[in-house]
Amino acid sequence: MISRPGDDVPAQLARRRDAAHRSEPLECCSCRDPLTCHCHEQVQPITEHQLDGWSAAALHLLDNGLSPAVPVDVQRRLWRRGGSDRALAQRLRGVCSDRAA
């Protein structure tokens, strides 16, 4: 790939920022860049069925010697459920801290 002046990331970000300042604010909020507007994101709550799925998948991966990448909010919900799910959340926390070290 041929590199040209102005093709580096800082120059690209500067051009995008300048273009955003020239544009009109969006109708939903005061954002000028649609990529950074979060007005239309729909965050759905995690259902009990989904938690059961996360739990089963994490246990399956752990039993096969793999470390699952479970989102923190899912780990928190598992911990709040108590019992075996709390033990799983603590086990996942241990796996994550071992992986980070």
Does residue 4 fall inside a structural domain? no
Least reliable range by pLDDT among 30-39, 51-60, 72-81: 30-39
Does residue 75 fall inside a structural domain? yes
Q: Are residues 72 and 30 in the same domain?
A: no
Does residue 2 fall inside a structural domain? no
Does residue 3 fall inside a structural domain? no
Q: How many domains does the chain have?
A: 2
Q: What is the pLDDT of residues 59-82, one digit of tens each?
A: 999 999 999 999 999 999 999 999
Q: Are residues 52 and 37 in the same domain?
A: no
- String of b and e for 51-70 (b: at least 16 CB within 10 Å)? beebbeebeebeeeeeeeeb
Dump the DSSP string for 69-89.
Answer: ---HHHHHHHHHH-HHHHHHH
Say if pTM beats, i.e. exceeds, 0.75. Answer: no
Does residue 57 fall inside a structural domain? yes
φ, ψ dihedrals at 85, nearest 5° = -70, -35
How far lies 51's CA from each of 21, 31, 75, in Å? Answer: 42, 34, 9
Structural domain boundaries enclosing 88: 48-98
